[in-house]
Amino acid sequence: MSETTLKTERLANGIDVEEQRILSVYELYELVWRHPMYKLARQFGVSDRGLANCCKRYRIPTPPRGHWTKVDTGKSVERPNLQLAQSQMVEVVVFPVANPFDNQKKQTKRERAEAFRKIDQPSIDSCLSDAHPIVASWICDLNCSNSACADCLSSLSLSDFDYYRLRVTSAFFKSIDKIGAQVVQARVDGRFRIQIGSAELKVSIRQKMSEELRHGIDPDNWTAWPEHHGYWLYPTKNMKLSVSGNCVRSLEFVYSRKEVEQYGLKRLVACVAAARKAAARRENERAEIRAKRRAEGQAKKELELKETAMLARWEGFERLADQWNKSQKLLAFLTELRVWANHHALSDEVDTTVSSWLDSVEESIRCEDPLRDLQKILHGDEASSISQSLTNPKPT
């Protein structure tokens, strides 16, 4: 059975397209004529045009326009053959694995959409009499040195732009207080630092500026804080809302006042609320990475200990082999010495002395023989003696 036939049977049994990233040209040809191109492209993590270009590169015919409509209505369709050689049919096609950061972006986007549905619509007050304490302190700092002044709103020098921005800012602070966020730093120019969970965000609610002066705007008295803006920039009637942080990508929105009241401010609050889950997910991922690194470090340490132990055993084995080799040479020399003594006529007194000396030497040599412990084991002595001699051999 040819390789192409085997691949055809594998296709008939079903291929998990979502996990299949490497396949042959013939398999891709079969999939293209079994499923719509846009579905395959989505499952492979590429665009429709990218999949079409891949088929064109490998000379794979694709279904024409209206093909799947005919299939759904039960009409007959023609399927062209794959005009390739056998070696070309089994050529490998590799699709790139989806980037994990793309999945994180999609998940963060879903979390923002879910938070947008759950949170209440922020209510922008028509006046600043019930402003958030932070905004009220700005107003008091602007108009009087006593922050407890009850009539501080009577002498306001705020322009229409400042008045509306402070109302939106007050509504924003009240909304994030409800979801458990904390204002770490708030500047009167509209830049804030927000802490929610383990996420630290930078948020801004500012006037959208332009290099062109709009009609009907006084360039000198449009704000009570002109030092916070460039002298070459002029305000527009739109608001610029932005959010960035250590767990969310930077987002910037430009809305009209009507859009801010309808959904713009709610979208900004939703971004802050979704940052809590993103930060928690990031902490979990970091904890998993740390646990994985600890496990890998522990496994590496255990492997090093095993290798060190094996090396020590091998060195001990080599020392025992050298010791045994030395003892065998001494025994061979002792045997030759006995043969020499037998061939030479020695007096009885000398022969007795030499024999006694040779016996003592032989006993000393056999005591240094490393196989002596093995003999003890074979005779029923302690079984641990050989392992002790292997791990802690006597120095030669």
What CA–CA distance (Å, rounded) separates 187 from 170? 13
Question: Taking Cα atoms as reference points, which of 143, 107, 391, 139 lies closest to residue 277?
Answer: 107
Question: Taking Cα atoms as reference points, which of 194, 192, 198, 201 lies closest to residue 251?
Answer: 201
CB atoms within 10 A of CB 368: 14
- CA-based R_g, the chain, Å: 43
DSSP state of 268: H
Assign 3-class secondary structure to 67-103: HHHHHHCCCCCCCCCCCCCHHHHCCEEECCCCCHHHH
Angle at 32 between CA 26 and CA 33, to 5 degrees: 95
Q: What is the pTM of this model?
A: 0.55
pLDDT, one tens digit for every residue, the chain (396 residues)? 344 444 444 444 444 444 446 788 888 899 999 999 888 888 887 888 888 988 888 899 999 988 998 888 888 888 898 888 888 888 888 776 655 555 667 777 888 888 899 988 999 988 888 899 999 998 888 766 434 444 444 445 778 888 899 999 999 999 999 999 999 999 998 999 999 988 899 999 998 888 877 766 766 677 777 777 777 788 888 999 999 987 777 889 999 999 999 999 999 999 999 988 888 888 888 889 899 999 999 999 999 999 999 998 888 888 888 888 888 888 888 888 888 877 776 666 667 787 888 888 888 888 877 777 665 545 544 445 545 555 554 554
pLDDT at 86: 81
Which residues have a Cβ under 8 Å from the Cβ of 52 and sit 6 or more positions away? 37, 62
**Amino acid letter at 114?**
E
